Chain A
Amino acid sequence: AQSVTQPDIHITVSEGASLELRCNYSYGATPYLFWYVQSPGQGLQLLLKYFSGDTLVQGIKGFEAEFKRSQSSFNLRKPSVHWSDAAEYFCAVRSGGGADGLTFGKGTHLIIQP
């Protein structure tokens, strides 16, 4: 069965500093990988996804992620965070089976210090 690990439950970053959120997955074949963001009291919004091709993926709001097959990782990065980036971030994986659901990590809560 596929699984996703987000090792950091909370991360605190100063505004303007760089950010990296870690995600490791477990899946036998090439996975379909996603990063979602959830603001307080809101639903989830897709930041970016990887399914093939270039291993460095660009997303919305200045985020990017890099797929590293050898490390089973799909870490999310941003060069300079803004106070509005404070939110919960979820990494998710999907098998190649089509319409089945996503398997989510437990999330990383991002706190931005002024």
Chain B
Amino acid sequence: NAGVTQTPKFQVLKTGQSMTLQCAQDMNHNSMYWYRQDPGMGLRLIYYSASEGTTDKGEVPNGYNVSRLNKREFSLRLESAAPSQTSVYFCASSEEGAADTQYFGPGTRLTVL
């Protein structure tokens, strides 16, 4: 039982390049999330998927797209990376209830030059 896994762990991009961050969970959770963490800012929600087939914007969605590929997988795509997207990205999953715990992956550290 690996929980929430993310690939890659580290990535360096040049401005304008594209990439997809992958996330998978093996807990049979319905809901999945993408957050970004910046120094002194805490974590901010980018997108979430309440259930398979649905996605919704969070607090900071600009410059990102997401795909809920199936119940297990939720990917985050940067179409044209910008230096402002340099951050640590965390994927999380949970059941659907508001009181349910979100379980976090280990993160992807992305640098955009």
Q: C-beta contact mask, B46-67 vs A, less than 8 Å → 1, else 0?
A: 0010110000101100000000
Task: From A32, A96, A97, A104, give the contact of B43 (CB < 8 A).
Answer: A104
Q: Are A44 and B98 touching (Cβ within 8 A)?
A: no
Q: How far is the CA of A51 from the CA of B4 in the complex (A)?
A: 24
Question: 17 A-B contacts, Cβ less than 8 Å apart?
Answer: A42-B106, A43-B107, A44-B92, A46-B103, A49-B99, A49-B101, A51-B99, A95-B98, A99-B97, A100-B48, A100-B56, A101-B48, A102-B43, A102-B45, A103-B59, A106-B40, A106-B42
Residues of B within 8 A of A94 (CB): 98
Is B42 a contact of A99 with CB atoms below 8 Å? no
**Bound-state Cα–Cα, A71 to B26, Å:** 39
Q: How far is the CA of A4 from the CA of B42 in the complex (A)?
A: 10
Residues of A in contact with B, size category: 20 to 34
- A74 on the interface (CB 8 Å rule)? no
Closest to B94 in A: A99
Q: How far is the CA of A9 from the CA of B41 in the complex (A)?
A: 11
B86-107 CB contact bits vs A (8 Å, 1 = yes)?
A: 0000101010111101111111
B30 at the interface (CB under 8 A from A): yes
CB atoms of B43 and A98 under 8 A apart: no
Which residues from B are CB-within-8-Å of A104? Answer: 42-44
Instruction: Out of B30, B44, B103, name the residue touching A99 (CB < 8 Å).
Output: B30
A90 at the interface (CB under 8 A from B): yes
Say whether B98 contacts A51, CB under 8 Å.
yes
Residues of B within 8 A of A96 (CB): 98
Note all chain B residues with C-beta closer than 8 A to A102. 43, 45, 102
Chain B nearest CB, measured from A23 CB (Å): 12
Residue B42 contacts which of A51, A97, A98, A105 (CB distance < 8 angstroms)? A105
A101–B35 touching, CB < 8 Å: yes
Specify which of A90, A96, A104 lies most central, judged by the most chain B CB atoms within 10 Å of its CB: A104
